[in-house]
Structure 1
Amino acid sequence: MLGLSMMWGVSGASHADVVASIKPLGFIAAAIAQGVTPVTVVLPDGASEHDYALRPSDVRRIKSADLLVWVGPEMESFITRSASQLPDNKNLELTALPVIQSHLVAETGDDHDHASTHAVALKSVKSSERELSDSHSHQGTHNMHIWLSPEMALLSATAIHDRLVQLMPAQKATLDSNLSQFIANLQHADEGIRQQLNTVKDKRYYVFHDAYTYFEQHYGLSPLGYFTVNPEIQPGAQKLHEIRTQLTEHKAQCVFAEPQFRPAVIDAVSRGTGVRKGTLDPLGSNISLSPDSYVKFLSQLSSQYVSCLKPMN
């Protein structure tokens, strides 16, 4: 049996190589492709999907991939041109799938009222062939951080499974088993994470950018808002004044930064308020690809919330 370091990083002539645009999609793909084919990730650790530029080696890797897995042009614009040059059966654009589109929520400005939303229980999704849509109706109006939704992660895993079965029908039994194990692991982790986050679900906080809506809705968290929708654009003076007012009135327990973005604006706005500062990593940059890396990713994110939101003694 091949070691994980061989399975996830090295291309072999007898394998259909899977290339994921970002690490969380690599986590999901690694679980499905376990024992079948290598999985690699384009976006390097520490980089942002919002402003990355492909290197020549990235372009070559995508061009030679047997399957590219990505969210879509509204999220990874850096990969759009290379993806368009691949045959349809090798280009798995997840937000172009109707089953994923039906779960997307609109960007809602500063409105973070989750009272009208509800967490959808994870359930087994039947494996079925799903073709890519030819149109893109999002145009930047929807939240594209789909990997932060446990339910859409499960749907993405199913889509990856289906496409790999098409590419490697002889491996169907292994791929079926891997998908079943992924579903079971995710359901188990989901229950534990929900219990962990129940202890802080009423605590209010700010995040740096609007990446966490699906995770927050699924687990019933209570954000006050975010500094910016696009992390490449600094928030304006009025926005910062509103946040500062909320912090000085002690309406927030915590302000979260991110490893990819450490804006001085967070320090400046929170200075002197007594509000705690934490870090959320929406890309799992310190987690290595493995069969259980997506579950580790969700668990780590949950712990990052709790570490800053837990009641102070």
Structure 2
Amino acid sequence: MNPLNKKATRLLYAAALTLVLSGGQAMANIVTSIRPLGFIASAIGDGVVPTDVLLPDGASPHDYALRPSDIKRIQSADLVVWVGPELEAFLSKPAAALPAGKNLMLSALPSIQPLLMKGADHDEPAGSGHADDHHHGEYNMHLWMSPEIAKQVAFAVHDQLLRLMPEKKSQLDANLLFFTAALTKNDKNIATMLAPVSGKGYFVFHDAYGYFEKHYGLNPLGYFTVNPEIQPGAQALHHIRTQLVEQKAVCIFAEPQFRPAVINAVAQGTSVRIGTLDPLGTGIALGKASYIDFLLQLTNQYVSCLEKNS
């Protein structure tokens, strides 16, 4: 037999074997826009279906541009999980082209809509000091910061996967039960960890943490930008420094992508400590406990700066 024919035969055999092993269907897969949604989806799909994240580490959903390879991943996915056009504008057109059953837009779900908080543009904290015109819409779209909403996301992913693969019901049910039980247990643990620092005031660079702060009773004094890609100008920095002193802030939290020079310029001449919050869980691998790991990492980032004696 011709070597090329042999190779083609092997490829056909491998494809046929894959179909047999997957019950006659091509292997399903989930694609999420950002890593934290991947944490939740991968927990529900654990051992059943792989989860892939569109945004690479270090990229922001606020201004990401899709590559041709991303478009292919979206088109070939069995389920695309994203927040909505207010956060991931880059996904609006590709998601709209998907069949309804494959397009899981979380902000539109009836189970999630009642839990949404008003966005920063409509309920701006006093002395926020931010100076950009990036519009997020009426609601805060950083949904993954809410343990309550995360639970609803898990239910929604479970239900969609169940429609795709009803034969995997027992495994999907078990994964959902594990996720919700772990979330409940760690919710109490996190509340206990944050209780000693709940009265300490701080500023954040990026208005991304409202759900987490409200859920755990933290004391944010303000934020400096809605869009983390926009750095504050000189006038804004001066205003921020004034607010830090006047409101007796203990900490100012930056994010991994902010240049140290910007952060140091803000804190210069004050006694305010500098911390880092990572709203996207960079470096946390997808898996059964990854969303819990994300919440615990965020908690430790708050505590490590706020709990130090002034």
Give the C-alpha shift of residue 111 in structure 1. 3.9
Deviations 1:16-62 (A, max 9, x none): 10001100000000100011101010000111111111111111011
| Distance in 2 of aligned mates of 1:169 and 1:162 | 10
| Larger CA deviation: 238-247 vs 202-211 | 238-247
Letter in 1 for 2:220: P
SS where residue 206 of structure 1 aligns? strand
The equivalent residue for 1:37 is: 49
| Distance in 1 of aligned mates of 2:87 and 2:149 | 15
| Distance in 2 of aligned mates of 1:139 and 1:269 | 25
The equivalent residue for 1:53 is: 65
Match of 1:292 among 289, 292, 302: 289
Give matches, 1:138-153, under 5 Å: 140-153=137-150
The equivalent residue for 1:88 is: 100
Match of 1:70 among 63, 72, 82: 82
Which structure has the highest helix share of the two? 2
1:312 maps onto 2:309 in alignment: yes
The alignment of Structure 1 onto Structure 2 pairs a total of residues equal to: 278
| Distance in 2 of aligned mates of 1:206 and 1:312 | 18
| Distance in 2 of aligned mates of 1:198 and 1:50 | 32
Cα pair distance change 1:99/1:262, threshold 3 Å: farther
Letter in 1 for 2:112: I
Say what the alpha-carbon RMSD is for the aligned residues.
1.9
Deviations 1:104-123 (A, max 9, x none): 1112457449xxxxxxxxxx
Gaps in structure 2 of 5+ consecutive residues: 1-21, 127-134
Give matches, 1:94-243, under 5 Å: 94-109=106-121, 111-112=124-125, 140-235=137-232, 239-243=236-240
SS where residue 98 of structure 1 aligns? coil
| Larger CA deviation: 79-88 vs 276-285 | 79-88
Letter in 2 for 1:51: D
SS where residue 199 of structure 1 aligns? helix
What percentage of aligned pairs have identical amino acids?
A: 61
Cα pair distance change 1:250/1:23, threshold 3 Å: same
Gaps in structure 1 of 5+ consecutive residues: 1-11, 114-137
When the two structures are superposed, what TM-score results if normalisation uses the length of structure 2? Answer: 0.85
Larger Rg: 2
Deviations 1:216-271 (A, max 9, x none): 00000000100111223334666433321122346101111111333643321211
Match of 1:278 among 275, 280, 292: 275
| Larger CA deviation: 36-45 vs 94-103 | 94-103
